[in-house]
């Protein structure tokens, strides 16, 4: 899991950053453990069929307002309410916002002090819930449907505790790692298939328009990389998720060899880059989230100053509180806006 937070100074900032990096590592470990225990082939098959395995409780069409039983990624037969009104989908809020759904609570760390800032125009009045979803907190929000992103999030009896509170559907890692599948699966659960189709069509059109503007600006074919600097460590995004997917898949930027190499062995969405490897980064453009600030030792180092993009003045600072760390239509749209504002004058 990852979270961006409002800029802070002093000890509280260090604590939040430490927690953030720790969560990044734990998330990767949890995901790998879940995949290993379930078997990669079974997990992919079950999760990939989650949205397709709908079994209506009667003869009515799934799009009608009827209670339905749907099998989730872990094989649970989940009774989905006809019209869920109090949805809890922690760390999946991008999809809810895109579908026009306001959850009963939103994901947070540090006792609610840090949330997904890029979504706050839609979620500013939504109360926070701990990222680890303590059952007593979940119950206090009286949800009528709980959607969980990963198998690892319901281990050690947690699924039984959540399902005793409300119907609980697990997307599974194979689905949650693909934001389009996550969006369409959640839309199916909520009876918002038409809305999901529009979200995807609008997103694809925005990507096409953005790509055309980049081509007109002569940027097509140039390479780019996304870096996050925090606590004197440089992290690089995996090329198939979040801002990596937007740059390389949606917008057609060339991928530097270092980014490709790191992605091949990536254990998380964001992975640390050893300094000796960073010197090999020959990207034409760098999009940088610098949580350490302008006085960071990293950006003042001779190694950093020697990078191709730095020497050519093509380092583009983007906000650590924006959508660059996240997956989803809302995050992707914000990333595209940032790319245009930095490269098309």
- pLDDT 10s digits, 211-245: 999 999 999 899 999 999 999 999 999 999 999 99
Predicted local confidence at residue 20, as pLDDT: 52
Interatomic CA distance for residues 56 and 93, integer angstroms: 26
- Pick from 144, 163, 191: which residue ends a domain? 191
Interatomic CA distance for residues 98 and 151, integer angstroms: 24
Report how far residue 275's alpha carbon sits from residue 290's, in angstroms, rounded to the nearest whole number.
16
Residue 175 burial (CB < 10 Å; 0-12/13-18/19+)? buried
- Is 118 strand, coil or helix? helix
CB 321 within 8 A of CB 118: yes
The dihedral sign for the CA sequence 41, 69, 185, 130: negative
Instruction: Give the separation between CA 87 and CA 108, rounded to whole angstroms.
Output: 16
For residues 326-345, give the mean pLDDT.
97
Over residues 183-206, the mean pLDDT reads 98
Cα–Cα dist 213/126, whole Å: 36
Q: What is the mean pLDDT of residues 4-16?
A: 38
Per the CB < 8 A criterion, the answer to whether 56 and 45 are in contact is no
Rounded to an integer, what distance in angstroms lies between the CA atom of residue 100 and that of residue 260? Answer: 35
Q: Is pLDDT at 41 greater than 90 in this prediction? A: no
Give domain status of residue 4, yes or no: no
> By mean pLDDT, which of 48-57, 85-94, 210-219 is the weakest?
48-57
Same domain, 83 and 45: yes
What's the number of domains the chain is made of?
2
Residue 5 maps to a domain: no
Helix (H/G/I), strand (E/B), else coil: 327 = coil
Mean pLDDT of 3-23: 41
pLDDT digits (tens, 9 = 90+) for 250-292: 999 999 999 999 999 998 999 999 888 999 999 999 999 999 9
Question: Do 176 and 295 lie in a common domain?
Answer: no
The residue segments making up the domain with residue 337 are 200-343
pTM of the prediction? 0.82
Q: How far apart are CA 335 and CA 242, in angstroms?
A: 9
Same domain, 254 and 300: yes
Task: Indicate if the alpha-carbon torsion angle 186, 25, 120, 178 is positive or negative.
Answer: negative
287, β-bridge pairs: 226, 316
Q: 166 and 134: one domain?
A: yes
Say whether both 26 and 175 belong to one domain. yes
pLDDT at residue 47, as a whole number: 37
């Amino acid at each position: 899991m990852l979270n961006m937070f409002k800029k802070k100074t002093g000890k509280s900032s260090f604590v939040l950053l430490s927690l953030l990096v720790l969560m990044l590592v734990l998330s990767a470990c949890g995901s790998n453990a879940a995949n290993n225990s379930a078997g990669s082939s079974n997990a992919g098959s079950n999760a990939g069929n989650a949205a397709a395995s709908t079994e209506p409780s009667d003869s009515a069409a799934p799009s009608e307002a009827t209670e339905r039983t749907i099998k989730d990624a872990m094989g649970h037969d989940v009774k989905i309410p006809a019209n869920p009104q109090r949805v809890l989908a922690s760390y999946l809020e991008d999809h809810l916002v895109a579908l026009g759904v306001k959850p009963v609570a939103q994901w947070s760390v540090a006792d609610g002090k840090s949330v997904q800032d890029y979504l706050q125009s839609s979620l500013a009045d939504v109360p926070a819930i701990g990222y680890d979803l303590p059952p007593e907190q979940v119950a206090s929000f009286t949800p009528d449907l709980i959607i969980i992103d990963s198998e690892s999030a319901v281990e050690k009896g947690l699924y039984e505790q959540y399902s005793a509170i409300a119907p609980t559907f697990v997307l599974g890692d194979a689905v949650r790692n693909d934001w389009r599948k996550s969006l369409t699966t959640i839309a199916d659960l909520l009876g918002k298939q038409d809305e999901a189709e529009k979200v995807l069509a609008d997103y694809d059109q925005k990507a096409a328009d953005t790509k055309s503007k980049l081509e007109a600006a002569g940027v097509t074919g140039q390479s780019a990389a996304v870096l996050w600097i925090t606590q004197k460590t440089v992290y690089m995004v995996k090329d198939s998720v979040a801002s990596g997917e937007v740059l390389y898949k949606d917008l057609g930027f060339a991928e530097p060899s270092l980014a490709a190499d790191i992605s091949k062995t990536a254990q998380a969405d964001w992975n640390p880059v050893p300094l000796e490897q960073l010197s090999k980064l020959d990207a034409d453009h760098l999009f940088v989230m610098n949580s350490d600030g302008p006085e960071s030792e990293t950006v003042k180092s001779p190694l950093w100053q020697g990078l191709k993009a730095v020497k050519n003045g093509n380092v583009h600072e983007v906000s650590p509180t924006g959508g660059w760390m996240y997956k989803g239509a809302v995050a992707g749209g914000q990333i595209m806006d940032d790319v245009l504002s930095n490269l098309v004058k």
